[in-house]
Amino acid sequence: MSENLNVNKNAAAVDNDEALNLSNEEKTTNYSAATNNSDFHQAMDGKSITTTQSNAQLAEEEKIAADLLKKPLSQRIGIILICFCLAFGGFVFGFDTGTIGGFINMSDFKRRFGQRRASDGEYYFSDVRTGLIVSLFNVGCAFGCLVLARSMDMVGRKLAIAFAACIYIGGILIQICSFEKFYQIFIGRLVTGSAVGILSVVCVAFIGELSPPDIRSLTVALYQLMVTFGIFLGYLINFGTNKDYSNSAQWRIPLGLCFLWALMLIGALFFVPESARYFVEKNNLEAARDSLATCNKMSRDDIAITKELDIIVAAVEAERLAGNASFRELFQTKNKVFQRLVMGVVIMSLQQLSGDNYFFYYGTTVFQTVLSNFNGFQCSIIIGMVNFVSTLPALYIVSRFGRRNCLMYGSLGMICCLVVYSSVGVKSLWPDGYSSNNPVTSKGAGNCMIVFTCFYIFCFATTWASLAYVLCSETYPLRVKAKCMGIATASNWIWGFLISFFTPFITSAIRFAYGYVFMGCLIFSLFFVFFYVPETKDMSLEEVNEMWLAGVLPWKSTSYVPLDKRTAEYDATAATTDDRKGLKKFF
């Protein structure tokens, strides 16, 4: 390794110790264990480990490595294509979201898996069956995310994705071979959901590990972009098959295409190098060096590759030193762990409670009701296109205006849209009152609802869609990060299941007044973000941790300056004190 490199795995460990307020004796013990680790000494080629490097120095090392790895975007096409291949896992998730809502409105699907109404002989889905067909996918996702995604640490990122793709193929096979037994669809949805749960964790982590620092935000954003593209394409294909076929081809063609998506994902893995981080975890530094060189199109002996490899080794060793936290540690308030866990769970829950899946899963059904003389599949295509296009400027908006502002303005925009959507739906959609036998709707009111739905989707796609995950990934200390992220993500899937399952019951009872429920959740989100979510824009993970430990008030966090960036004039108490003492107590 280069003589210029001063790798300090203990810097990250010390930062973690501060987060958990370890004593000096504990820190000494950690250091002794670290310096006696033979694997790490072998990884460092016998170089000594300096224990006095500060967080600022470590950040400077990372900055130097990032600068050395910088290239014009035109020279990054290779790694962008590699990350695009991995982002295809997001497309698989989006395609399911975009197709399942259409299936429950297809005549052949209803005839095979629905129930026959005695009064008129028509086939339909009960609220229970509709909710289960849509929502069981989320149960599978939660299981795959919490349990099966750990396979990436055992067999590697590539094999974990291939494993998930095989599970996905099995789930699709169960569904496509279903004839008239609705529980076959239930089982297939659970299986495919577990596969998507794995992909949602592994693909995002893999992209982040492969990407050079200067384009990491761009490549990670590809995943969300592919999710929205999958939703859009799913709507398009549903529209085409529903229009051209009246038999099982209506829904079997979209399902059959899922085999192609899975095979494409597996095929793409042949062009993707394994994660350097995974190789370091397995103490295979030569393979890790080759992976970094391939991703950055540099010589394996380049100093930039050496620096980046040393940083990865330091991070991996810090995690080894941190160990696994007990669940009891998640409830510590002294070190702000519990406060951060609460923030993550509520933010991830509010992302679902904003109501996005009401439109994405049930959009076809909703708009078939809004305009009885119009094809609900066409309206879904419009929603999908708005969602996809709106994701493109999201990265700039978030980096320019910060987390707090984007979340609050996003909530405010969605509130305004839902007020109009629900009020028009309740007051003006049915001029003569609603009747299931003759649901005549106002075309003007219906068009108004569709327009404001599109505005709502724009507000969601540019703010809450990606920011919820960003905030959680930036918030937790190293030692408790895995468990906190797992709990926060699980809360998102659980709310996804609840909303997907109960939406048919609620809409049957209160119809478009359902939008007021989501509006109430968004009003709560305004207060929660203002009083509870600190601004983390342009801050390193170490600086975010430092800010939480300092007790900075969220509504004053925009004025906070990290320790290594302060001037003599900076008032360190300004961001931690407030006249309203009751608001400060929990922070």
**pLDDT for 13:** 39
Exposed/middle/buried for residue 284 (C-beta within 10 Å: 0-12, 13-18, 19+): middle
3-state secondary structure of 7: coil
Task: Walk me through the domains of the chain, giving residue ranges and CATH numbers.
Answer: 73-272 (1.20.1250.20), 331-563 (1.20.1250.20)
**pLDDT for 148:** 80
**pLDDT for 335:** 80
**pLDDT for 346:** 94
Mean pLDDT confidence for 154-165 = 91
What angle do the packed helices 77-103 and 127-146 form, to 10 degrees?
150
In whole angstroms, give the CA distance from residue 472 to residue 481: 9
**pLDDT for 68:** 54
pLDDT tens digits, residue range 85-121?
999 999 999 999 889 888 988 999 999 999 998 887 8
DSSP 501-533: HHHHHHHHHHGGGHHHHHHHHHHHHHHHHHHH-
Position 253 pLDDT exceeds 70: yes
Position 254 pLDDT exceeds 90: yes
Q: Taking all residues of the chain, what is their mean pLDDT, rounded to a whole number?
A: 80
Position 563 pLDDT exceeds 80: no
pLDDT tens digits, residue range 265-314?
999 999 899 988 889 888 899 999 999 888 878 888 888 888 888 888 88
Band the pLDDT of 59: cuts 50, 70, 90.
low
**pLDDT for 46:** 37
The answer to whether 171 touches 212, Cβ cutoff 8 Å, is no
Band the pLDDT of 369: cuts 50, 70, 90.
low
pLDDT tens digits, residue range 187-196?
999 999 999 9
Band the pLDDT of 58: cuts 50, 70, 90.
low
The answer to whether 133 touches 164, Cβ cutoff 8 Å, is no
pLDDT tens digits, residue range 13-53?
334 444 434 433 333 333 333 333 434 334 333 333 333 34
Q: Which of 538 and 167 is assigned the larger pLDDT?
A: 167
**pLDDT for 559:** 77
**pLDDT for 261:** 95
**pLDDT for 152:** 80
Helices (H), 533-575: 541-549
Q: Which of 585 and 387 is assigned the larger pLDDT?
A: 387
- CA torsion 442-443-448-454 (nearest 10°) is 130
Give the containing element (helix H, strand E) for 116. strand 115-116
Q: Which of 471 and 26 is assigned the larger pLDDT?
A: 471
Q: Which of 550 and 436 is assigned the larger pLDDT?
A: 550
**pLDDT for 49:** 36
**pLDDT for 57:** 53
pTM: 0.78
